[in-house]
């Protein structure tokens, strides 16, 4: 576990350094070689770094152990990183929109293409590291994918702007800005999905029913909600088909709770309700 944590921290450090280098490369190219598309790309690099800082901060909070105020853990605090990403990119989208509205005729220099290519390579490596870490960093990776897409568009747009017309570069900048708005919408939907207390996938629910049935329990009521990716909380009301041996029933319940936690990540509360038919036959 310590080696795994150390690898994660090393990946995080590498992502931060690469993101900073990528931002500086794009900003330099945008300022000195006059490409609007590269400028929008450079602005998103600023947002990328801000988002990364907050994602790391909220990620550390999300892995804190449960306490009195958070008995199920702090997993959902990781959403704070997604919110910070949306805020940062919303700011960039606004600035980019304003820049494009008040933009005038300009001349794109061919050197901007070289910096766009360099940014593409740097952010490609950053994406691979973000995917490797996974978890809440997938959202950061999604925005970083937008950086990669932007780099491809910038390479083509700045090249066309330098060789033919600035309008090609300007059109590229418009496309990048629209894509930022799209990513904001997608991530907002992701937050709504996380906090909506949705149930696990159907396959998991079916497997859980089979687990109870295998242990001679009938589920009368089952409520499971997603706390975080791979983490759930569930409440069950079940009836036992076994004989009136409460010690065996209790052992089975404890074993089921252990399996639910270890295999499915479900912290469960299981209530055994009386079986009316069984009680009637017991009395006879």
Burial readout 20-59 (b: 16 or more C-beta within 10 A, e: otherwise)? ebbbebbbbbbeebbbbbbbbbbbbbbbbebbbebbbebb
Q: Which sequence spans correspond to the domains of the chain?
A: 2-195, 202-283
With beta carbons less than 8 A apart as the criterion, state whether 155 and 118 touch. Answer: no
Regarding predicted confidence, which is higher, 14 or 237?
A: 237
The C-alpha atoms of residue 155 and residue 90 are separated, in whole angstroms, by: 24
Confidence of residue 163 (pLDDT cuts 50, 70, 90): very high
Least confident piece of the model among 68-82, 111-125, 132-146? 132-146
Residue with tokens 């690099």, as numbered in its chain:
45
124 CB neighbour count, 10 Å cutoff: 16
Architecture of domain 202-283: 2-Layer Sandwich (3.30)
**Res 194: pLDDT:** 80
195 CB neighbour count, 10 Å cutoff: 11
Domain 2-195: CATH class, spelled out: mainly alpha
Query: What predicted TM-score, i.e. pTM, was given to this entire model?
Result: 0.73
């Amino acid at each position: 576990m310590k080696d795994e944590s150390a690898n994660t921290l090393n990946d995080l450090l590498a992502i931060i350094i690469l993101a900073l280098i990528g931002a500086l490369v794009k900003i330099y190219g945008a300022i000195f070689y006059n490409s609007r598309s590269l400028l929008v790309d450079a602005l998103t690099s600023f947002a990328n770094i801000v988002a990364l800082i907050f994602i790391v901060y909220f990620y550390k909070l999300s892995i804190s152990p449960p306490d009195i105020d958070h008995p199920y853990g702090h997993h959902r605090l990781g959403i704070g990183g997604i919110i910070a990403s949306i805020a940062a990119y919303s700011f960039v989208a606004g600035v980019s929109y304003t820049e494009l509205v008040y933009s005038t005729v300009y001349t794109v220099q061919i050197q901007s293409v070289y910096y766009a290519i360099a940014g593409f390579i740097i952010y490609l490596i950053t994406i691979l590291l973000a995917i490797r870490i996974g978890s809440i960093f997938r959202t950061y990776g999604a925005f970083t994918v937008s950086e990669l897409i932007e780099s491809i568009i910038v390479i083509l747009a700045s090249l066309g702007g330098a060789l033919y017309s600035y309008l090609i570069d300007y059109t590229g900048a418009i496309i990048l800005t629209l894509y930022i708005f799209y990513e904001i919408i997608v991530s907002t939907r992701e937050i709504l999905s996380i906090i909506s207390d949705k149930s696990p996938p159907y396959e998991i629910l079916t497997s859980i029913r089979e687990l109870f049935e295998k242990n001679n329990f009938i589920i009368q009521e089952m409520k499971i909600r997603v706390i975080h990716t791979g983490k759930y909380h569930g409440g069950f009301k079940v009836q036992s088909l076994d004989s009136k041996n409460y010690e065996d029933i209790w052992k089975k319940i404890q074993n089921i709770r252990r399996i639910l936690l270890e295999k499915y990540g479900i912290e469960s509360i299981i209530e055994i309700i009386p079986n009316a038919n069984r009680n009637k036959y017991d009395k006879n």
